Amino acid sequence: MFRHIRKDIQAILERDPAATGKVEAFLMYPGLHALWAHRIAHWLYVHHVKLPARLISELARFITGIEIHPGATIGEGFFIDHGMGVVVGETTEIGDNVTLYQGVTLGGTGKEKGKRHPTLEDNVVVGVGACVLGSITVGKNAKVGAGAVVINPVPANTTVVGVPGHVVVREGERLQPIDLHHENLPDPVVEMFRCINRRIDRLENRLGPGDAEEDPERKRAT
């Protein structure tokens, strides 16, 4: 238990530049308090003492604004930054050194039974307001961009952005473990418009300036 506590506090000090020390992390981080409440609730849940487990979970949600179902499995070094509005479903499995930001939902997609929530492998980072839905796996070292909606499996060492989520490979560069710079992600929609503009430029060059001016579609567009 004390080893888990030390690792949980160390995760805050390593990943949050605003943290000034262990005492502050111990007293002031709701994500840490929600995690510790979950560890107690989870122990009760797996030992079939489910009602007290749910009561602890609900109390933690009321105090911290973070809802973690007692059935969820969470590894070491888990860090929830700020945390308000985070929801973690019952059959969610979270590996080691995973980071979630505020507003993240790890949820299901319906009323199916059994495994219906995602699995996040080691070193995954999920950005602000992102939703990871269904019984899918987000591979090791992957990043989910802010506001993304992920409904398909995510390979390891990749980045997912957009709605629905698209896997983006940044020039073949392998992502470093616990890379928290999820604000510097490419936008596939902007890139699509850039491709369209480049294609229009090439077509105009082929037509010539005279043909482009006589194009009735272009006149209506302008």
For residues 47-63, give the mean pLDDT: 93
Tell me which of 46-50, 134-138, 165-169 is least confident.
165-169
Is it the case that residue 173 has pLDDT exceeding 60?
no
pLDDT in tens, 80-91: 988 889 999 999
Name residue 160's beta-bridge partners: 144, 167
Q: Are the CB atoms for 37 and 56 separated by under 8 Å?
A: yes
Q: What's the predicted TM-score (pTM) here?
A: 0.72
> Is residue 149 classed as helix, strand or coil in its secondary structure?
strand
Tens-place pLDDT, residues 57-77? 999 999 999 999 999 999 888
Q: 198 or 51, which is more confident?
A: 51
Confidence label for 114 from pLDDT (cuts 50, 70 and 90): confident
Cα separation, 65 vs 63, whole angstroms: 6
- How confident is the model at residue 178, as a pLDDT? 47
Separation of alpha carbons 41 and 57, rounded Å: 7
Q: What's the first-to-final CA gap in the chain, in angstroms?
A: 68
| Domain ranges, ordered by start, for the chain | 2-186, 187-222
Q: What is the pLDDT of residues 141-157, one digit of tens each?
A: 888 988 889 988 988 88
Mean pLDDT of 107-116: 82
Length of the chain, please?
A: 222
- What is the model's pLDDT at position 124? 92
Query: So what CATH class is 2-186?
Result: mainly beta
Residues 12-39 have pLDDT tens digits of: 888 888 888 888 888 888 888 999 999 9
**pLDDT-derived band of residue 171, with 50, 70 and 90 as boundaries?**
very low
Question: Are the beta carbons of 120 and 178 closer than 8 angstroms?
Answer: no
DSSP structural state of residue 110: S
What is the residue-averaged pLDDT of the chain? 82
* Residue 175 pLDDT exceeds 50: no
